[in-house]
Amino acid sequence: MTALLWLRRDLRRADLPALGAAARAAGEDAGVAAVFVVDPEFFEPAGEVRQAWLARTLLALRESYEGRLSLRRGDPVELIPELASAIGATSVHVSRETEPAGAARDARVREQLERHRIAWVETGSPYAVTPGRVVNRQGAGFQVFTPFSWAWRDHGWRAPAEEPEGVRLLHPGGDEDVWRMVTEVAGRPGLPELPEAGEEAALRRWAQFLEHGLADYADHRDRPDLDGTSMMSPYLALGAVHPRTLLFDLASCSGPGATTYATELAWREFYADVLWRHPESLARDLRPQLQGLAYDDDTELRQAWQQGRTGYPIVDAGMRQLLATGWMHNRVRMITASFLTKDLHQWWPAGAAWFEQRLIDADLASNAHGWQWTAGTGTDAAPYFRVFNPVLQGKKFDPDGDYVRRWVPELRHLPGVLAHEPWKSPKGPDQGYPDRIVDHDRERKVTLARYQLAREHA
Ligand code: FAD
């Protein structure tokens, strides 16, 4: 028998339970055909950098699958049943998708397969614990992170999946054009330097982090000027590595770094769980009492934020890091998101969409709920009255101004923390650096007044 393995957010070969299930279904004499579908609905809206990251991950994945990875381009609802029938597959194997659009698409593919009497088999998911499984004593989900994280640890997870032995990989072919397109996208001129893609690179990066970064992680993770975080998010986003693999390694490490890192992975799992329970939260404030909050809709202000031209150095550094590399430090994501929502009064989905288009680690759940948390509208949100002061945040987390000077060349001549307040220096910024587009103290008051009003009318 032949089995089809449809890869989506699990672009690896190691620790992949769906591959084991496909190999078992295929049996000894038959084979497994692995396929990825470039779905224009997901691919086209992504920016060039994000597209390139996916393309490079696919090229690396082809190596992992000994050159026998099939590619298709189009609507999977048509393509998967077509390919499964063409190769005589009796089952299609996937890791379970729990994001709303992906889950709806899977339901349609499954319906088509049933018509062809082809089985649909879900094994594992992109999470250590599949969304929906962490529940309290009454069987309900969690609204708040800390109790979720305790229950998540108590629930536990499997050990990394063993690679099945002797899998015979099939390659039905007919995909030269799509590979050509992917190769072009991967090597487009003008792309920034990206991390090396693929599962081998992911595991190398992880080994380096365990050796050199984990011990100081708890102290350094909030400092954008230091190389203090793991940079595993771009690999986790596409499943080049599974969180179970990381958690398994962490279990044999001691110290606060390992505990803190596992907690950060728990945030990723929490947000996936919240999204599964509240699919509407991708575009709607979760907190009912803030659903009437007034926002502005100002394209010019949004553009200044997008291009890193707000006149607030830490905000501009973060937005420019995003444009230049497709990644931004977590602390700076919070500062820039707070600035858009609480200083410029724009609704968070506009910022989430900008991030989603550009981040190489774009993840629907972590992004939408990272935004909702910062905006004060989400589950387990930061208190709505907490408005980040971009200057104080900059001075606290980039205490020598190194991060700002790295990404904002107009401020490179300003020493130390002066880089966070160029208006205080007699030299000022180099020409071309904008004046502050809003007055933080004033906008903070506006935000608090709007929150108060929304709560009174809720
Ligand atoms: P590390 O500090 O090394 O953390 C290890 C892993 O833990 C990360 O790779 C990630 O999987 C997980 N993690 C850490 N912090 C968080 C968090 N706050 N929420 C969820 N998971 C976390 N993360 C994404 O992966 N994709 C996104 O699209 C995304 N958008 C965000 C948007 C906003 C507004 C905010 C505030 C945060 C967002 N995050 C997102 C979370 C976080 O910023 C990134 O996961 C982190 O910066 C990735 O870098 P790292 O791998 O070096 O992190």
Q: What is the spatial distance between Cα 51 and Cα 57, in angstroms, rounded to a whole number?
A: 10
Q: What is the model's pLDDT at position 265?
A: 98
Mutate to test the pocket of ligand 1, among 50, 217, 264, 338 (most ligand atoms within 8 A of CB): 264
- Is residue 120 classed as helix, strand or coil in its secondary structure? strand
Is the ipTM higher than 0.95? The answer is yes
Q: Which architecture characterizes domain 2-125 according to CATH?
A: 3-Layer(aba) Sandwich (3.40)
From the CB of 366, is ligand 1 less than 6 Å away? yes
Amino acid sitting at position 230: S
**Which residues in the chain show pLDDT less than 70?**
381-382
Which of 9, 233, 358 for mutating ligand 1's site (highest number of atoms within 8 Å of CB)?
233
Q: CA–CA separation, 264 vs 268, rounded Å?
A: 7
Is the CB–ligand 1 distance for residue 230 below 6 Å? yes
Check whether 231 is labelled as a binding-site residue.
yes
Ligand 1 site, residue 221, Cβ cutoff 6 A: yes
Q: What pLDDT shows up at residue 52?
A: 98
- Please check if 451 is assigned to a binding site: no
Assess whether the region 2-125 and the region 288-456 belong to the same CATH fold: no
Whole-angstrom distance, CA of residue 315 vs CA of residue 167: 50
Domain ranges of the chain: 2-125, 127-159+199-277, 288-456
> Which of 330, 363, 369 is the best mutation target for the ligand 1 pocket, counting ligand atoms within 8 Å of the beta carbon and taking the most?
330
What CATH class is the domain 127-159+199-277? mainly alpha
Average pLDDT of the chain to the nearest whole number: 95
Query: Which residue owns the Cα nearest ligand 1 atom 31?
Result: 367
Judged by DSSP in three states, 396 sits in: helix
pLDDT at 120: 98
**288-456: CATH topology:** DNA Cyclobutane Dipyrimidine Photolyase, subunit A; domain 3 (1.10.579)
Amino acid letter, residue 365: A
Has 362 been labeled as part of a binding site?
yes
Tell me the pTM. Answer: 0.97
Angle subtended at Cα 352 by Cα 346 and Cα 357, rounded to the nearest 5 degrees: 130
pLDDT, position 15: 97
Q: Rounded to whole angstroms, what are the CA distances from 65 to 58, 142, 184?
A: 10, 39, 20
> For residues 239 and 199, is the Cβ–Cβ distance under 8 A?
no
